[in-house]
Amino acid sequence: MRQQAAFKIKPSLYPVFNMVNNRHISLILLSALLYSQAGAASDAIEPLKARYQKLGALPFDVDRGRQLWNRKVLHNRSGKMRSCSNCHGTTFTKPGRHIRTRKVIKPLSVAIEPSRFNSMKKVEKWFKRNCKWTFSRPCSPQEKGDILTFIQFETWRK
């Protein structure tokens, strides 16, 4: 036997009621999927920041990260000025381009590139390479945390 709903709907409104419910359910499922992908894509950021703080970093700061990101440093061997923004750009939703190899660099925004920041090992590998390339030295835990905080701020506020 069919159970009755707590409220009555006119039989002529059944198709409209079902269409509205299906549309709402679809939107809810799509939102949940996008939220879970964005969350999964950035799974490595918070554990890395926690690790850096255990290594003695102070609370991380967006402005310090922004300054570091845009800091121009004279490279020892090439004699050219380098900064993170030279290759990655200042708009994290767009691809960058390596200044020497001209290879395309995927956007840093996890909304555009969901695979960004999903592996602590990869993030550390790229910090090692990019800090050496840009600053001619490894980045400190403080600098890494500030950069990650800046990237988070820039990619999630838009």
Q: Maximum Cα–Cα distance for the chain, whole Å? A: 83
Residue 80 lies in a domain: yes
Alpha helix stretches (DSSP H) within 42-158: 45-54, 62-70, 84-88, 120-135, 141-156
40 CB-near residues (< 8 Å, 6+ apart): 114, 118
In a domain, 1, yes or no: no
Q: What is the reported pLDDT for 4?
A: 55
135 touches 73 (CB < 8 A): yes
Both 31 and 82 in a single domain? no
Which pTM does this prediction carry? 0.71
**How many domains does the chain fold into?**
2
Q: Does residue 54 share a domain with residue 86? A: yes
Q: Residues 123, 152: one domain?
A: yes
pLDDT in tens, 76-130: 888 889 999 999 998 999 999 999 899 999 999 988 888 889 999 999 999 999 9
Residue 87 and residue 19 in one domain: no
- What per-residue string of b and e applies to 118-149 under the rule 16 or more CB within 10 Å gives b? beeeebeeebeebbebbbeeebebbbbbbbbb
CATH number at residue 124: 1.10.760.10
Residue 38: per-residue pLDDT: 43
Question: Does residue 132 sit within a domain?
Answer: yes
The DSSP call for residue 120 is H
User: Is the domain of 69 the same as that of 81?
Assistant: yes
With respect to residue 58, please indicate whether it lies within any of the assigned structural domains: yes
Indicate whether 84 and 110 sit together in one domain: yes
**In this predicted model, which residue has the larger pLDDT, 142 or 3?**
142
As given in the structure block, the two tokens for residue 80 are: 């050219």
Per-residue confidence at 42, pLDDT binned at 50, 70, 90? low
52 lies in the same domain as 75: yes
